[in-house]
Structure 1
Amino acid sequence: DTPLSRPPAPEGEKEEYQQAYETFRNGDYSRAMALFQDFLKKYPKSKLADNAQYWIGECYYMRGEYEKAILEYEKVIQLYPRADKVPSALLKQGFAFLQLGDKVDAKLIFKKVVKNYPTTPQAEIARKKLKALP
């Protein structure tokens, strides 16, 4: 049994995720995105997969690529419907629509956050955004 044929150790998985996250925090969004994408290819069933997908959306958002961010956040919602990142992904979709000047879709998304996740911090942020929008 060669080392390459064995499944990777869980701590390797966590370390790779952490490296991608630190790269994001340091502002290197292109590199962080590549690291998160590699992570998802290597560990598609990881408990951190929904988080990695969310941070890919954040990388696009931070680069001002709001349409792509919306699509990546949507993957979190579709692929990991019960994940704890879903309310955040939905909320950030709303913010991305606002950045694009699309207040109608932003409002729809914010209302969905409030309706589907009423007791979350994301719902509280969505409520404030809805009050601020005409």
Structure 2
Amino acid sequence: KKMKEFIEKFQASELAAEAQFNLGIESYEKQDYDKAIEEFRKVVIDFPESEIAPDAQANIVECYKKKEDYRSVITEAEKFLSYFCDNQMIPQVKFSMGMAYFKMHSYKEAAETFKSIKDDYGESDFASSARYNLALCYKKMGKSEKAAMILQQFGEEGSGEKSVMAKIQAGIVFMEKSDFVKALTIFETITPTSAKESAQLYELMGECYQSLGKEADAIQSYLRLKALSLVDNPYQVKGLAKLAVFYEKQKRYSDAIDAYKRLIQVSTNGQVKKSANDRIAYLRQ
């Protein structure tokens, strides 16, 4: 209440704008996003010339993002771009807008938005993620060559987790086109940075070798999954199951039993455990 009185008393000052903005922040921190939107909107309407007005409008975009109201994210982001057309937060707001389009499956609009960040704000903190997301949009739009090219480039220029994920995604694009040789040439250059990435990589490589009829290489790839300490990782579970089936086919029954035992250790899924135990019982007969 005191804050409201202060705002009314110093209506024309920057201090009043800041006080109003802080009311929005308070509501935002309490996760009362509707109230926060109301308070931030007052900053934009009552203090349009204040230094804090762009922040208020950007925060309205954030609130709608939290509410998962993606249509409103786009509307409010467009307002920001027309009110504050030379503000430094444009890349951030555009990125939220691109993500909203993506969530709504409007991939063409999402691609255009991410591309404009990449082209016009190449130095911003959002350019790299925009480029990655642009590739994902192209993938969704069926433009797989374009997607793979960006992802490969991204993977080679970057480092760490994002670089690994980009290369894996590029390989998957070629797998979806049944170009397993090309996928493998990408996968073979990857150095995973975590057990999770390793699991995905080894399973996908196994799948490629299997599709090319290279059983021994597929087995080697799936075999690497045994050593990973993960729980309920879909790639590890899938790969170990395939490994066990390979061993059964080759009549290497004790190896198959070992693979099924490892499968039981890394999965908490009752159905998976039961199937593996059933196979072990059958093979021991």
1:104 equivalent among 102, 108, 131: 108
User: What stretches of structure 1 of length at least 5 have no aligned partner?
Assistant: none
Matches within 5 A, 1:70-89: 70-89=74-93
Q: TM-score, normalised by structure 1?
A: 0.88
Aligned residues: 132
Greater mean alpha carbon deviation, residues 66-75 or residues 11-20: 11-20
Tell me the SS of whatever aligns to 1:68: helix
Matches within 5 A, 1:60-71: 60-71=64-75
CA distance in 1, matches of 2:126, 2:26: 23
Deviation of the 1:7 alpha carbon: 4.4
Deviation of the 1:11 alpha carbon: 2.4
Partner of 2:156: none
Matches within 5 A, 1:1-134: 7-133=11-137, 134=139
CA distance in 1, matches of 2:32, 2:9: 32
Tell me the SS of whatever aligns to 2:50: coil
Contact 1:36 1:55 in 2 (8 A): yes
Higher relative contact order, chain-length normalized (CA < 8 Å, sep 6+): 1
Tell me the SS of whatever aligns to 1:121: coil
User: What stretches of structure 2 of length at least 5 have no aligned partner?
Assistant: 1-5, 140-285
CA distance in 2, matches of 1:122, 1:5: 40
Q: TM-score, normalised by structure 2?
A: 0.43
CA distance in 2, matches of 1:54, 1:124: 21
Deviation of the 1:37 alpha carbon: 1.0
CA distance in 1, matches of 2:107, 2:64: 20
CA radius of gyration, larger in: 2
CA distance in 2, matches of 1:17, 1:5: 16
Amino acid across the alignment from 2:16:
G
